[in-house]
Amino acid sequence: MFQPYRSPPGRPWPVRLLCFALVVALAWAWVLAASGAPTRAFGPGYWPYLGGTTAALALALAGLWRMRRWGPWVLALALLLDDAVLAAMGELRAAVVVLQLAVVAGAALGVRAGRPRALPTSGRGPADRA
């Protein structure tokens, strides 16, 4: 039947901090792209890469900010896309992958902690009858 829900505790500060860091990182990437140095170093595929990564991270940012369960999954996919490109270039470092795993796990736990949950009922449920 109907179960009462706890009121949502709000957006946890680690999720807010991660969203702020994503906004800063995206803005910084586009500022660097405007300077032209990464474009020359990366080659002709830089703009599609930057556009795809920006779109994926923006979608993850929206999901995390709205505390959606799919937010951390999209963040993980965006980071996986970035890691695939870096691995193809020979620039992927193990420490970065470990840090990214910690960030995704923290985002998933933060979103889970901030979502409302059903309160335990004091009455007997259908499973208890019999």
Output the DSSP codes for 65-103. Answer: HTT-THHHHHHHHHHHHHHHHHHHHT---HHHHHHHHHH
* Residue 9 token pair: 């505790």
Q: Give residue 8's pLDDT.
A: 55
Domain assignment present for residue 66? The answer is yes
Instruction: Tell me whether residue 33 is in a domain.
Output: yes
pLDDT by position in tens, the chain (length 130)? 555 555 556 778 888 888 999 999 999 989 988 888 777 878 888 889 899 999 999 999 999 899 888 988 999 899 888 888 888 888 888 888 888 888 888 888 877 776 665 555 555 555 555 5
Kindly state whether residue 52 falls inside one of the protein's structural domains.
Answer: yes
Q: What range defines the domain where residue 33 resides?
A: 13-114
| 128 is a domain residue | no
Q: Is 1 within a domain?
A: no
**Angle of helix 94-114 versus helix 70-89 axis, rounded to 10:** 170
What is the number of structural domains in the chain? 1
Domain-embedded: residue 69: yes
Has residue 38 been placed in a domain? yes
Is this structure's pTM higher than 0.85? no
Query: Does residue 127 lie within any of the structural domains?
Result: no
Distance CA 59, CA 97 (A): 21
